[in-house]
Structure 1
Amino acid sequence: MRALVILLFTVTLLSGCFNNSFENHMRKGKDDLLANNYDEAIKSFDTALIEEPNNKDAIALMKRAKEEKADEDNKRKIEEFIRETDTLYKRLILIGNNTDIKNISYQEAKSKLDKLDPINKEFEDLSIKWNDEQLVTEAFQSLQSAIANLESSLSTSIDLIDDPEEIVDTDNNGEVSDFEFMRSRKGLMIRSFVSYVDDTKSYAKEVNELKEEK
């Protein structure tokens, strides 16, 4: 009889300890959640769930902590991405803006290409970090495309100055069609520049959308 009393007393004592431990972890988790200490909150709720795996409050609070942590991480990534790419975008705009690509001189095209070279190198470094980050994929690809199209347009303009091109009337109808023109190197030069302009606009639009998501 005495042994049974001791056993029941021990079970009751341990049960009280477990309950107190669960409540303590829940209380700490809630405090950390309110303080935006999401990592600590997740640890507390995780420990509480070890003790009471089916507790609905603990499950719900764990879910909320993880969601808010994910939101905070996304905001941080967006801010970091904009900070690291916006300077490249502005420098790219300075190079491409006010460019009369149809009448650009060799010296101007070469000067702009020289300014574009360090942007290309810096972008390659950023690619390691951002290329596979789905959160900013569209904006990153737009910036990448803008750099490539401006480079293509400027390089082609230099090629045309070094080696002028006569656009051939392949249809033999006495005039160069739009199709024939766009297949030419000059057409490629103009098309690449137009794409560059469109890409910079897309980047700006997508960055604004990312800011709104924050």
Structure 2
Amino acid sequence: MLKSVSVYLLLFLLCTSCTLFDEYEQSMEQARNAMKSSDYAKALESLNVALIEQPNNADAVSLKKMAEENLAKQQEEIEHDKFLEVFTPIYEKLSSWRGSIGEEIEFLTITEAEILLPQVEKLQNEIEANIREWQSSSYSIEIGYLDSATESLYLCIIAIIENISEPVELNGDHSRSNVIKQMLRSNDFKIRADFLYTDFKSSMNRFEELYNKHK
């Protein structure tokens, strides 16, 4: 009787081992096929199942590491392509305005500013619609510069439309530091527009430095 129990127990253990081995091999085969088709997320799912069956299997551990690295690279490429798709048209529009305005803002008339204003507002809304999605991405700095450039151009145009003339009061202090201080405080539209347009160009230049590395 004892001998019969031992035989049945041995057969049970053998069958269980075969089942576990079959599940492992099946999961590994699924993982290899997924890797071949670049479906790294699916490959990781299968490998996690395989590692439940054989946690210390060197082949499964090695293949999982490869799948994780390839998945990370694939996601980076997807994010890169989407960044260019979403933000290149915005950048090109800002660049075209910079080209048409030129290096100095003083020649932009009130009529031209009034025509340009709704276009800049539309661009601001486009950035705002996307900025939350991208704020934690690896492109958040680039997008920040683009957002800053658009905001500076918007405020610059507002200053031109408001057309406020206000002399700078130096109060007898003609030192460079005081001149700059009072100019920054001034509400004169020419001074405000000049400062803001300089900020616009600076943000655009910083964006371009990073953007050109991604092209």
Is the TM value for this pair above 0.5? yes
Moved more, 3-12 or 26-35: 26-35
Aligned to 1:126: 130
Query: Does 2:116 correspond to 1:112?
Result: yes
**1:45 deviation in Å?**
0.3
**Residue type at the aligned position of 1:148:** E
Query: Does 2:214 correspond to 1:210?
Result: yes
Q: Distance in 1 between matches of 2:56 and 2:93?
A: 56
Within the candidate set 134, 148, 156, 2:159 is matched to 156
Aligned to 2:27: 25
How many residue pairs match? The answer is: 208
* 8 Å Cα contact 1:96-1:150 kept in structure 2: no
Query: Does 2:201 correspond to 1:197?
Result: yes
Q: Scaled by the length of structure 1, what TM-score is found?
A: 0.86
**1:107 deviation in Å?**
0.9
* 8 Å Cα contact 1:149-1:192 kept in structure 2: yes
RMSD: 2.2
Q: Distance in 2 between matches of 1:77 and 1:133?
A: 12
Correspondence list, 1:40-51, <5 A: 40-51=42-53
Query: Does 2:155 correspond to 1:144?
Result: no
Correspondence list, 1:169-208, <5 A: 169-173=170-174, 177-185=179-187, 186-208=190-212
* 8 Å Cα contact 1:95-1:116 kept in structure 2: no
String of CA shifts for 1:100-125, please: whole Å, max 9, x gaps: 31232211121221221211222221
Residues 139 and 174 from structure 1, CA distance in 2 versus in 1: closer, same or farther, beyond 3 angstroms? closer
* 8 Å Cα contact 1:95-1:115 kept in structure 2: no
**1:147 deviation in Å?**
0.3
Structure 1 stretches lacking a partner, 5+ long: none
Q: Distance in 2 between matches of 1:81 and 1:173?
A: 48
**1:52 deviation in Å?**
1.1
| Off by >6 Å, runs of 4+ in structure 1 | none
Residues 29 and 98 from structure 1, CA distance in 2 versus in 1: closer, same or farther, beyond 3 angstroms? same
**1:178 deviation in Å?**
4.1
